[in-house]
Structure 1
Amino acid sequence: MISSSYFINVVRFTLLVLVQVLVFNRLNFFGFINPMVYILFLYWYPIKENRAVFIGLSFLLGFFIDFFSDTMAIHAASTVTIAYLRPAIMRFVFGVNYEFQSFRLGNATKAQQITFLALLIIVHHMVFFALEIFSLANILLILKKVLAIGLSTLVLCLLFSSLFSVRKE
């Protein structure tokens, strides 16, 4: 039998790639703001799963976005970077709580969840735009894009996260 967690991850992966490619890659707010909501897959992926599989799935996620966006492995490099750094970011945000087997992202405070998502987005965007622009002479442009696109990505990811999360009563 296929577990429900496996099925949910496949559906999330597929839907986030389709939404990113068909909707958000075509949007350009103010001429340059293009939100990257596919990062939610890396945020929602189960914490205690096999790390090698997670990094492999992150590469595939970035590869599919690159394939449809024609961006030559920039998304793949960015997603693999945040997949590799995710345990360190989680230790930074959640502290000792992250080490326990019973830890769940849904049990963390809202501030911790937002901080975790924001750090994932910042690291992703720093790697992405540094590779895209590939010039330290344009560091202000890189920071402008990280700030503007990162903020729009964070807002949309929080919106999607609140829309598709299971409500506790």
Structure 2
Amino acid sequence: MNKGLFINIIRFVLLVLVQVLVFNRLNFFGYINPMVYILFLYWYPIKENRPAFLGLSFLLGLSIDFFSDTMALHAAATVTIAYLRPAIMRFVFGINYEFQSFKLSNSTKAQQFTFLALLILVHHSVYFSLEFFSVANLLLIVKKVLAIGLASLILCLLFGSLFSVNKE
């Protein structure tokens, strides 16, 4: 088994465990529980097998749903951002993303931040739109997307700085 596959399996398992055992139990201000498992989709290698990535994204979301009792909401949101990830990357990194030698660690901090923020924004928009599924709740959806999205972004940035693979 190669090193990259092993690292991805460890990330997958640890992020599911941390999300389910720690962050699903946290409630900042009564309604904010951050979703840090999105980091798996952020860290996943750029040029890997796309169908396998979509399948892993579905399994990641389904794993969180299984322990959270959320009826495949996480699965829908993770598959959506996995599917849109190339378009988001093209938007953030431009033509550089197309090259074989492109690595996330070689991009600027602003680009990495924007990429992570967009992944979280799209994920939370899909998740909370499906959770409330009503235009009447639009303000509540926006409030949750922004509040929980900001908390998720801050914690993902902290996790990212603590566990970054490439220390240079």
| TM-score normalised by the chain length of structure 2 | 0.99
Matched residue, 2:145: 146
CA distance in structure 2 between the aligned counterparts of 1:36 and 1:126, rounded to whole angstroms = 13
Matched residue, 2:94: 95
Q: 1:112-163 deviations in whole A, cap 9, x for unaligned?
A: 0000000000000000000001111110100000000000000000000000
Matched residue, 1:37: 36
| 1:12 shift after superposition | 0.0
Matched residue, 2:75: 76
SS at match of 2:97: helix
CA distance in structure 1 between the aligned counterparts of 2:57 and 2:147, rounded to whole angstroms = 24
Cα RMSD (Å): 0.4
Matched residue, 1:114: 113
Q: 1:59-81 deviations in whole A, cap 9, x for unaligned?
A: 00000000000000000000000
SS at match of 1:32: coil
Runs of 4+ in 1 over 4 A off after TM superposition: none
Q: How many residues align?
A: 167
Matched residue, 1:51: 50
Matched residue, 1:17: 16
Matched residue, 2:167: 167
| 1:87 shift after superposition | 0.1
The residue type equivalent to 1:73 in the other structure is A
Structure 2 unaligned blocks of 5 or more: none
CA distance in structure 1 between the aligned counterparts of 2:61 and 2:43, rounded to whole angstroms = 16
The residue type equivalent to 2:145 in the other structure is V
CA distance in structure 2 between the aligned counterparts of 1:51 and 1:125, rounded to whole angstroms = 22
CA distance in structure 2 between the aligned counterparts of 1:72 and 1:139, rounded to whole angstroms = 21
CA distance in structure 2 between the aligned counterparts of 1:116 and 1:126, rounded to whole angstroms = 15
CA distance in structure 2 between the aligned counterparts of 1:41 and 1:136, rounded to whole angstroms = 31
Q: 1:45-100 deviations in whole A, cap 9, x for unaligned?
A: 00000000000000000000000000000000000000000000000000000000
The residue type equivalent to 1:66 in the other structure is D
SS at match of 2:19: helix
| 1:167 shift after superposition | 1.3
CA distance in structure 1 between the aligned counterparts of 2:167 and 2:97, rounded to whole angstroms = 22
Structure 1 unaligned blocks of 5 or more: none
Matched residue, 1:155: 154
The residue type equivalent to 1:68 in the other structure is F
Are residues 1:6 and 2:14 paired? no
SS at match of 1:49: coil
| TM-score normalised by the chain length of structure 1 | 0.98
